[in-house]
């Protein structure tokens, strides 16, 4: 795996965001950190993509937000999945798996 932090493949950000907040409510900074850590510091979600994406998902009704005190004692906006978001996540995950399998089938043919 390359050590360089890479840009996200177009269209995968929503999937990553949905996956990251699936276990429970998280704030924007936490989401970015979680993605960075779990991807072994490969995937860095920039604020410029993160917040517009979160707001877009919220507008679509896939996630909701609530202001809450964070572990550091600051007020933070926590995002969590709605029922529609959970459904959308499983659909997108399924799509992604099929897509990734198809790509590797072609590349390794």
By the criterion CB under 8 A, which residues form the site for other proteins? Answer: 27-29, 32, 46-48, 51-52, 55-56, 58-59, 70, 72, 74-77
Shortest distance (Å) from residue 29 CB to other proteins:
4
Q: Based on C-alpha coordinates, what's the Rg of the chain?
A: 15
- What tokens were used for 12? 């995968």
With respect to other proteins, which residue has the nearer C-beta, 40 or 74? 74
Q: How far is the CB of 90 from other proteins (least distance, A)?
A: 24
Taking the least distance from each CB to other proteins, the nearer of 10 and 72 is: 72
Q: Are 68 and 75 in contact (CB under 8 A)?
A: yes
Query: Which of 22, 44, 24, 49 has the alpha carbon at shortest distance from 33?
Result: 44
């Amino acid at each position: 795996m390359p050590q360089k932090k890479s840009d996200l493949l177009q269209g995968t950000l929503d999937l990553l965001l949905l996956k990251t907040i699936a276990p429970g409510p998280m704030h924007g900074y936490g989401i970015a950190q979680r993605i960075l850590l779990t991807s072994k510091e490969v995937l860095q979600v920039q604020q410029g993509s993160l917040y517009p994406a979160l707001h877009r998902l919220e507008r679509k009704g896939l996630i909701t937000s609530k202001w809450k005190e964070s572990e550091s004692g600051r007020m933070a906006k926590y995002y969590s999945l709605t029922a529609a978001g959970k459904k959308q996540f499983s659909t997108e995950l399924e799509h992604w798996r099929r897509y990734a399998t198809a790509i590797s089938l072609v590349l390794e043919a």
